[in-house]
A and B are shown apart, each in its own frame.
Chain A
Amino acid sequence: MGGHSNWPEWIYIGIVIALMTWVGAEAWNVERLVEHIPADAEVIKVTGQQWFWSFEHEDGTKEIGELHVEAGKAYKFEIYSKDVNHSFNIHDYVVLMDAVPGRVNTVWFAPDKAGEHDIQCREYCGLIHYNMRGKLIVEEPSS
């Protein structure tokens, strides 16, 4: 390239490519692991609509705005939307998945200890998007 020696640039590009390869490989590996849903995960149906979240447990119990789960269990969310796009988010547990009308998206998590966490909507959905919030209440294991 050019008339002059360019080896520092080649070394530099080599380093950048190596770094990106490492980031990509690492991300691929982690994502593969976190996407693996445990077979015994309990299903919770999550429905987003302007502008609140509602939940339905496997046993048929329904909740609005609040979600009660037990520490130490795995849960699989099936996410629906009744109107426009929303995004179901429990930031403390890095749970994030869009609620898209006409589709069912899934994501899972396993809360490890009792406590309260925020649930929020992270995709713009109109007037009260800013307050489409809820609470996740993780309880001590029952048995």
Chain B
Amino acid sequence: MVLELQKPRPIWQIMFSTHHTDVGLLYLIMSLGFLFLGGALALAIRAELFLPGAQFIGDAMTFNRMFTVHGTTLIFLFLLPFASAVGNYFVPIMVRYKDMAYPKLNAIAFWMIPPAGALIWLGFADFTWYATPPYSIISAPGPAADMWIFGLKILGISSILGAINFIVTILKCKHPDMSIGQVPLLAWSFLSSSLIVLVAIPTFAAALLMLLTDRLGVSGFFNPAMGGDPIAYAHLFWFTFHPEVYVLVIPAIGMMYEIIPRFSRKPIFSYNSGVFAFVLLSVVSFSSWAHHMYATGMSFTEKTVFMVGTLAAVPASAMHVFNFIATMWNGRIKFATPMMWAVGGIALFFSAGAGGVVNSAMPLDFSTHDTYWVVGHFHLFVMGTIAFGSIGYLYYMFPYVTGRMYNEKLGVIHFILSFIGTILVFFTQHILGLYGMPRRIFDYPPIPEWIAMNQIATVGAMIIGVSMAIFLANIIYSSGKGKIANTDDPFGLGGKYYYPFEQKNPHH
């Protein structure tokens, strides 16, 4: 492991490096930067919705641009690169190889992201994270829309390159003494999610090009005025992005598989069941995409097929939850910061999944679709599960990256505030959806229930904001001035099998 900050190096040495831990560090820092940028937009959105009427965001267009860039940023510029950071650091070590299979390709995949991020932020498009035609073709203002399309295009290519690298590293570069059945679950999670990326992303990549030529007026794939069909785009988009949600969640589950057994001081309950559930999820994730499209006018038969496909994925997710609980059962659990985030994340994962089942049931979805319920649903995943797992893992890897310990008290406060805030925001949004408030609205009529729910959600968001400020201060301060960590056992867990990774980086 690198002790980056103990042996300071000039920044350009890290930037021009192709070594996996250096690229991992770049991914880590960049993704955290985007977490705070995207989070700031979220706070502004919540502040605007505190009361009906325009508050401080001048006009609806600015608001629409803000939630579009918020979603795009946190999914593509925070969650995905954060997972890549962890994968870069740990996958080669876990399969006992000196680096990623293709180090240069790895660095290229990383360096494609900042320009893509710049395109998205400088453009500031308004057509939501799914760029639905025909709005995105005939109505969305350029050049913002075109910049977003190019940004996403670049991100898609970067994802594909990253996925190829992980797959080859795990399957072809693992130590000859190691069978695939010995590869840790975290590495398995990268293998599964990378396979999903390879199958899923090309579809959206094609749709993006079609969208671009439609905007240029040279084609009419999705433009009804030229004989095209907007619903075709919806199918292509969701064929990619329903599986993509598993690309996000699977590595986060993998991170929890590292944390939970260690802090329970027990081996994982069932390694095989973890592997099986990952592989199963990556297959069934392709059977449910049109559950996002029940209200587009699909036939009863189509809706039924996709409902069954969606429900079929539930047992696989449920297996992970079981595995975690069974691992903790009778363990000598140490509730240090990483463990709190992981366990909190599992609790929220469970509640998020329960809401997902409601969405899947056709007649119920007509109450929830495109209301705040859906916003609450997927945020319990992206924030409650994936970001929680990721942040827990960040605390967990902190001593390895910096050689120092973060402040445990502040880490716990960060968790408690974020957990309360997440419940206040996203559980409330489920209820708000049942009261009928549509998503993506800049302003709303003064319906008392809507006002009350919005205010609770805004307060929750501010609590998360405060906790994140504490987090930022903690990691910045501790990486320079924190207590020197005992890198053999930074969390004082004892025992021999907790840190099987090599401590020294052969690169330095």
Contacts and interface: CB of A to CB of B under 8 A. Distances in A.
Contacts of A95: 366
Contacts of A21: 311
A96 B366 contact: yes
A124 B139 contact: no
A96 B295 contact: yes
Interface stretch (B18-26, B302-310, B402-410, B475-483): B302-310
A47 interface: no
A84, A87, A129 interface centre (most CB from chain B within 10 Å): A84
B367 interface: yes
Given A27-B364, A102-B229, A103-B231, A83 B138 contact: yes
B441 A130 contact: yes
Interface in B269-307: 270-273, 276, 295-297, 300, 303-304, 307
B371 A98 contact: no
A123 interface: yes
Contact of B128 (A50, A100, A124): A124
Interface stretch (A30-38, A54-62, A68-76): A30-38
B361 interface: yes
Interface in A1-25: 1-2, 6, 8-9, 12-13, 16-17, 20-21, 23-24
Interface size class of B (residues with CB under 8 A): 35 or more
A122 B439 CA distance: 7
A80 B323 CA distance: 49
Contact of A27 (B271, B314, B362): B362
B311 A23 contact: yes
B230 interface: yes
A142 interface: no
Interface stretch (B103-111, B199-207, B413-421, B442-450): B442-450
A123 B441 CA distance: 10
Contacts of A23: 311, 357, 360-361
Interface of A: 1-2, 6, 8-9, 12-13, 16-17, 20-21, 23-24, 26-28, 30-32, 34-35, 50, 83-85, 87, 89, 91-92, 94-98, 100-103, 105-106, 118, 120-131, 133
